[in-house]
A and B are shown apart, each in its own frame.
Chain A
């Protein structure tokens, strides 16, 4: 199984199975596409994956029930997922927020600041480097999920 970076450590995959958009009956333990997830009757402990162009609005009523939201970055240059993450955290989502797809380790510090706490890297060999990339900056100007006060309020 591919490994994950979660809460600042390398962990074995935690059991969630990757999205299976063709799967007709949504199954427990699968990360569901937004379309599949919308059809779920009971959303407790569910997991859903957002694609670029799928802002988190439909999730907002269920933030306490969701166990995991994955945000896909098919191309690392498409930065919509950064805003999705911040919105989810600002609206109170406390569960796992996982970046998946083609993002690169050089984005992880920013992703973390936007609220991601888990990272499924496309390339497993990058894990050690990626872990160190999380801490490339110790100081920030802006408020973000990891630091609610902007620097001008802390100076």
Chain B
């Protein structure tokens, strides 16, 4: 993974000093609330319902074991002994004290971490595929480009006071695990007719109040132009994005208002003056960035015998065998598997992880996966490089810590924002809804039989729980001070991205497990053989679900 040199360390250390000074001036009354707001947000600090919330950046989801141990330490020293993995692959602390935040940032800087631009109207953490570098369907590893974008966007002087937040995602595979069509900018590594790899550039996707699927503004961009082209897009947005209404301020609204062709023309005009300028990437810088993400020292494993050992263990232990089937994924190196660790055990808020679990995962990463871990936008954790013949030992260790829930990609592996239990923006709670659904659907065989299913829950319009792109989406709404839940069906996050359609009038919290149950029994009745939920929905449409869910009881 990328390792800081003295330049990176200087920047992060100076940022800590700057924020320490700003915090002291705020506490001394020398900075107004209004002026301090964007300053603290650009260091990841929100003031929440019960306490501040600190969002720590995990660039493109990559962590080493030292960093994970630091996170465990921080949750113990400054918080309540647990952290939360966000849908932008970041880590959130729910209970820090404002006065402590400069110290927390200083401790983070000691392990090459920070909270820069994890909030605020600026360029946020760039996200990517959690299987980058190990996926079997990868054209090229996206992480070297994510790191180039991270450096370019970090403390960018021109784009710190944009009309609204700005999110970039990069994808290097056939299957899109980075939701590139739902970002302000999505970058897809693709080949042109000459077989050269470059970027397809997608602009103006997004969730939130107005969900939009992004539009292609460039079919193929030479890699060397990556930063100047991004810069041109940001300049058009910074100068022309709406600033009169925060709900219409995202770039998706601008692209829509201008029309994608006019937007493209404006970008190309801006680009003309900086194209081939000093920010043009050299082959050398691309190679240097690639060299930071080389494959670890995989052992040459006799694939046949490793597989046999695994098969023997699976035969003797059906629970283990099931976990291998549900939670591990093919690796591009023979003899290895990618392991997904579910943070969706019933009884834990989705995406939450305790200090002890963090430390255990750090140890297991050292022991079994070259000391690296990845966070996912589905709020889980990945150990990317585990030998097949060590899966059994790993699984046993995970089991003892509630980390072996075998539900990756299934109904109970829900995406869920912190909601009204923590978040000051939320209209409704989301964690209790997730838990009630997990408790209702505790028959794992039924859950597996339903097949792959994304159930995404957001506590408000801001859509941190990505409800628009869940096969089943749940949105908390406020009706005259009461918490209600609106359900949508048919959303999808992949390259055939779709925004879910609203089923009908919203429901009370207590009714949600029944509502989900009715949707699922409708699906089971209409399903053709092993059809996935989304395929059935796309075949039969919304109406059959609507009729059944809103049918009056006989």
Contacts and interface: CB of A to CB of B under 8 A. Distances in A.
Interface residues of A, number: 37
B152 A82 contact: no
A143 B161 contact: no
Interface in B147-189: 148, 151-152, 154-162
Contacts of A55: 239
B2 to A, nearest CB: 13
Contact of A149 (B148, B161, B278): B278
B299 to A, nearest CB: 33
A150 B278 contact: yes
Interface string B219-255: 0000000010000000100110001000000000000
Contacts of A80: 238-239, 243
Interface string A142-155: 11100011111101
A141 B151 contact: yes
B279 interface: yes
Contacts of A142: 152, 155-157, 279
A150 to B, nearest CB: 5
A110 B121 CA distance: 15
A151 B151 contact: yes
Contacts of A82: 157-161, 238
Contact of B161 (A76, A84, A136, A153): A76
Interface string A120-138: 0000000000000000111
A110 B160 contact: yes
Given A136-B14, A137-B155, A155 B243 contact: no
Contacts of A79: 121, 158-162, 238
Contacts of A7: none
B38 A77 contact: yes
B393 interface: no
B194 interface: no
Interface string B246-283: 00000000000000000000000000011001110110
A151 B7 contact: yes
B155 A144 contact: no
A110 B161 CA distance: 10
A113 B157 contact: yes
Contact of B235 (A83, A111, A140): A83
A151 B174 CA distance: 33
Given A77-B38, A141-B152, A155 B158 contact: no
Contacts of B354: none
Contacts of A6: none
Contacts of B160: 79, 82, 107, 110
A109 interface: yes
A35 interface: no
B308 to A, nearest CB: 47
Interface string B279-294: 1011001001000000
A84 B285 CA distance: 29
A52 B239 CA distance: 9
Contacts of B279: 142-143, 150
Nearest to B6: A139
Contacts of B521: none
B278 A141 contact: no
Contacts of B235: 83
Contacts of A83: 158, 235, 238-239
Interface string B1-45: 000010100110011011000100000000100010011000000
B192 to A, nearest CB: 25
A151 B281 CA distance: 11
B202 to A, nearest CB: 23
Contacts of B274: 90
Given A80-B239, A82-B238, A152-B151, A138 B161 contact: no
Interface in A53-99: 55, 76-80, 82-84, 86, 90-91
Contacts of B277: 143
A139 B152 contact: no
A140 B158 CA distance: 13
A144 B157 contact: yes
A76 B243 CA distance: 12
Nearest to A106: B39
A153 B38 CA distance: 31
A10 interface: no
Interface in B119-162: 121, 148, 151-152, 154-162
A96 to B, nearest CB: 19
Contacts of A140: 11, 155, 157
Interface of A: 52, 55, 76-80, 82-84, 86, 90-91, 104, 106-107, 109-111, 113-114, 136-144, 148-153, 155
5 contacts: A79-B160, A80-B238, A91-B273, A104-B35, A137-B14
4 closest residue pairs by CB, A with B? A79-B161, A113-B157, A110-B157, A141-B151
